[in-house]
Amino acid sequence: MNNRALLVAIGLCLLVAGAGKLLTYAPASAATGTWLLSVGSGLGQLLGLWLLVRNGTILGTVYARVMLFLGGLLLLGAAFKILHWAGANPLLVVALAGIALTYSLRFFRKREKGRLDVLKLLFVLAFSSNALLTFLHLAPREAAYVPPMLLWLAVLDFMYVEGRTRRVDRG
């Protein structure tokens, strides 16, 4: 799937989420609207994250392999937490702190940094800290809005820069 197809799919997800939000205002269709809003925004965020990862420079590096391992630990810790097994919190702390530390290290070792790089770093740090505080039942409910907003800002910045690059290339 190329960038254009991904951007179209993200746009469709946003339309579904917007339609869902509108439906939540009608009492008869509030449940359907909530479902459409959740599915549209969630799928749009996943596609946006995939867009940023596949167009980034982290794939194929040691940082990507470390983060993939830490992502596996995160899933394992989440499964432990859901099943109420011992060791869930240490797994989650190690995984989330490791993801934040690994991505921060990669960011600071990168020679050229742009606005998109800063937004991605802020997203990773917000996601890791918010997820950790949520798993430990310490996060306020409103904190859940910060990582998705940073992700959407990064996707919008990518779209803006990509659009400007295309216009310059066409000359």
pLDDT digits (tens, 9 = 90+) for 31-86: 999 999 999 999 999 999 999 999 988 899 999 999 999 999 999 999 999 999 99
Residues 50 and 67 reside in one and the same domain: no
- Most distant CA pair in the chain: distance in Å? 60
Per the CB < 8 A criterion, the answer to whether 61 and 106 are in contact is yes
Domain boundary among 12, 38, 55: 55
Find out whether 128 and 142 touch, Cβ atoms under 8 Å: no
What is the count of structural domains for the chain?
2
pLDDT tier for residue 132 given thresholds of 50, 70 and 90: confident
Claim to verify: residue 105 and residue 145 sit in the same structural domain? yes
Domain that holds residue 15: 1-55
When pLDDT is cut at 50, 70 and 90, the band that residue 165 belongs to is confident
122 and 69, same structural domain?
A: yes
- pLDDT of 1 > 70? The answer is no
User: Quick one: CA torsion of 99, 158, 52, 124, rounded to 10 degrees?
Assistant: 10
Residue 74, burial from CB neighbour count under 10 angstroms (0-12, 13-18, 19+): buried
Residues 169, 140 share a domain: yes
Whether residues 14 and 86 share a domain: the answer is no
| Environment class of 10 (CB within 10 Å of its CB; exposed 0-12, middle 13-18, buried 19+) | buried
- What is the mean predicted confidence (pLDDT) over 18-42? 93
**Do 29 and 107 sit in the same domain of this protein?**
no
Q: Are residues 129 and 162 in the same domain?
A: yes
**Do 95 and 162 sit in the same domain of this protein?**
yes
Cβ 66 vs Cβ 168: under 8 Å: no
pLDDT bin (cut points 50, 70, 90) of residue 126 is very high
Q: Are residues 157 and 143 in the same domain?
A: yes
Residues 113 and 146 in one domain: yes
Is there a single domain that holds both residue 81 and residue 125?
yes
